[in-house]
Amino acid sequence: MNTSKALSELISPWLQANAAWGNISVTRLDLDSRKIKVGDTFVAIVGHAVDGRKYIDTAIERGANAVLAQACQFKAHGSVEWKADVPVIYIENLELHLSELAGNLYGSHQSRLVGVTGTNGKTTITQLIAQWIDLSGQKAAVMGTTGNGFLANLAPAANTTGSAIEIQAQLHQLAEQGATYTALEVSSHGLVQGRVKKLTFDVGVFSNLSRDHLDYHGTMEEYAKAKFSLFTEHQCKNAIINIDDAVGLEWSAKLPHAVGISLKSKPTTERALWATHVSYAETGITLSFDGNWGKGELHVPLIGEFNASNVMQAFASMLCLGFAKEELIKTASKLKPVLGRMELFQVANKAKVVVDYAHTPDALEKALLALRVHCSGKLWAIVGCGGDRDRGKRPMMASIAEKFADQVILTDDNPRSEDPAAIVQDMLAGLDKPDDAQIEHSRFLAAKFAIDHASSDDIILLAGKGHEDYQVMANETIHYSDRESAQTLLGLAS
């Protein structure tokens, strides 16, 4: 990347530089000492699991030209120590300033930003926005769960929302590659930890809120507070709020200038977009709308009520960005389903298989309800729960599968360090008739059992993994893909 700034200029908001080190040229920042190359600048903070200051010597050995480190009672703000002719500069509350620090280096050349937060729908909404922008003749990128970059060539992402430094660097790189817009999935972790603190969002979107990440946030109230901060504690020019969600409806009263979105009723917000009629078919959704931008009708090749809501939120984002309504209506039919999101696999004379990322109770319920409309036979649910995560949602997931599906198979998700059998036992506690559920720890064999025993009128939902092509076990991460399983078992694999 073509970035360079004197160290004195980079840290000027917090510390006045010394002539002995102020002219050091900073071209790249990194929090991971293992990724430091000659000439990089290492940033050492106390993280949630690791104290990066323990790796200062390693970073210097790898060629760091300077180190910015988090100050503490033993290392005062403004103190400098030299190690092998490399300055280690201590800055108070450095962990809180990472977004601004990285923005000082990378932020001069970036695309316009759309941030999407919520429990479910972030990937679909961001990718629909990017598709629509591409169809308009401009170039859009995405950052989130399925990867970072341009839709045709996404690079894997370790987290939904990367570190503050990674985000600023990635946005700079995408802009250099021609992105005029970037749509980001903004996680609750990313908001709480300040990873997007100094970004300016042209549009911020709230999709919905349901149980997730309570192992981190503790309570639903804290989880909601984290999401709400996108609109109250960050730079967000236009707020788009799904008022069909109870939390969104509550927030709309606190955000009077937000655009209220609804499939069910006319919002009372100052700006609004709502559906006047929605019809669903196997070929897609037809959606008539009204609002501040006038009336119209969209035809999109997606399925399910929640996807109708996702489309409306993406559509409102595009309108707020200034795209012409008539052009968006014209190109809506060219939008495509997102990889691993209600993705349909089918062949003649066999059950349809749908792969979806649904890994929360709310997402699973919505996926099953969406498929029920299209199912003339039995609806199957193959579902598991992740290890080392919120145990409370395990019986909830199983209960929803039992309530909304005709046949339930409990399987493994990412067991991580937990015993898969213990995870399944937690799920069984949520079933009224546990003996009716099939248990098969191998996801491939679970899918095979369903396909072997289902009729051609049935639909099988493979829930939880979506786009993922791996499974995290106790001591290793193995290659596994629900999409590949569906293709292999239906004879679609090449």
Cα separation, 477 vs 332, in Å, equals: 38
238 is in an annotated binding site: no
148 is in an annotated binding site: no
pLDDT band at 274 (very low <50, low <70, confident <90, very high): very high
Show me where the domains of the chain are located.
5-96, 102-334, 343-489
Q: Which residues are registered as beta bridge partners of 472?
A: 477
pLDDT band at 287 (very low <50, low <70, confident <90, very high): very high
416 is in an annotated binding site: yes
Interstrand relation of 41-44 and 66-70 (parallel, antiparallel or unpaired):
parallel
Contact, 130 vs 151, CB < 8 A?
yes
Cα separation, 191 vs 63, in Å, equals: 32
pLDDT exceeds 90 at position 314: yes
Cα separation, 35 vs 298, in Å, equals: 47
119 is in an annotated binding site: yes
In DSSP notation, 428-486 reads: HTT-SSGGGSEE-S-HHHHHHHHHHH--TT-EEEEES-TT--EEE-SS-EEE--HHHHH
pLDDT digits (tens, 9 = 90+) for 234-251: 999 999 999 999 999 999
Contact, 280 vs 373, CB < 8 A?
yes
Q: Which residues are registered as beta bridge partners of 299?
A: 286
Cα separation, 463 vs 363, in Å, equals: 9
Contacts 24+ apart (CB under 8 A), 295-303: 296/325, 296/326, 296/329, 297/329, 298/328, 298/329, 298/332, 299/332, 299/333, 300/332, 300/333, 300/335, 301/333, 301/335, 301/336, 301/337, 302/335, 302/337, 302/342, 303/342, 303/344, 303/370, 303/371, 303/374
pLDDT exceeds 80 at position 215: no
Q: What is the DSSP letter of 332?
A: G
Q: What's CA 429's distance to the chain center, in Å?
A: 30
pLDDT exceeds 90 at position 329: yes
Q: What's CA 409's distance to the chain center, in Å?
A: 27
104 is in an annotated binding site: no
pLDDT exceeds 80 at position 1: no
pLDDT digits (tens, 9 = 90+) for 351-361: 999 999 999 89
Cα separation, 45 vs 94, in Å, equals: 7
310 is in an annotated binding site: no
CA angle 147, 152, 155 (to 5 degrees): 30
- Summarize the confidence of residues 328-343 as an average pLDDT: 92
394 is in an annotated binding site: no
User: Which two three-digit tokens encode residue 343?
Assistant: 């993705």
Cα separation, 383 vs 401, in Å, equals: 8
Note the CATH number of domain 343-489.
3.90.190.20
464 is in an annotated binding site: yes
pLDDT, position 381 = 98
pLDDT band at 283 (very low <50, low <70, confident <90, very high): confident
Q: Which CATH class is domain 5-96?
A: alpha beta
- Summarize the confidence of residues 28-57 as an average pLDDT: 95
232 is in an annotated binding site: no
pLDDT, position 213 = 53
pLDDT exceeds 70 at position 412: yes
pLDDT, position 281 = 83
pLDDT exceeds 70 at position 211: no
pLDDT band at 214 (very low <50, low <70, confident <90, very high): low
pLDDT exceeds 70 at position 331: yes
**CATH domain 102-334 topology:** UDP-N-acetylmuramoyl-L-alanine:D-glutamate ligase (3.40.1190)
110 is in an annotated binding site: no
Burial 134-171 (b: 16+ CB within 10 A, else e): bbbebbbbbbbbbbbbbbeebeebeebbbbbbbbbbbb
Q: Do domains 102-334 and 343-489 have the same CATH topology?
A: no
Whether pTM exceeds 0.85: no
How high is the mean pLDDT of the chain? 93
415 is in an annotated binding site: yes
User: Which two three-digit tokens encode residue 223?
Assistant: 């989880």
190 is in an annotated binding site: no
The Cβ of residue 10 has, within 10 Å, a number of other Cβ atoms equal to: 23
Cα separation, 56 vs 66, in Å, equals: 10
Q: Which residues are registered as beta bridge partners of 344?
A: 354
pLDDT band at 444 (very low <50, low <70, confident <90, very high): very high
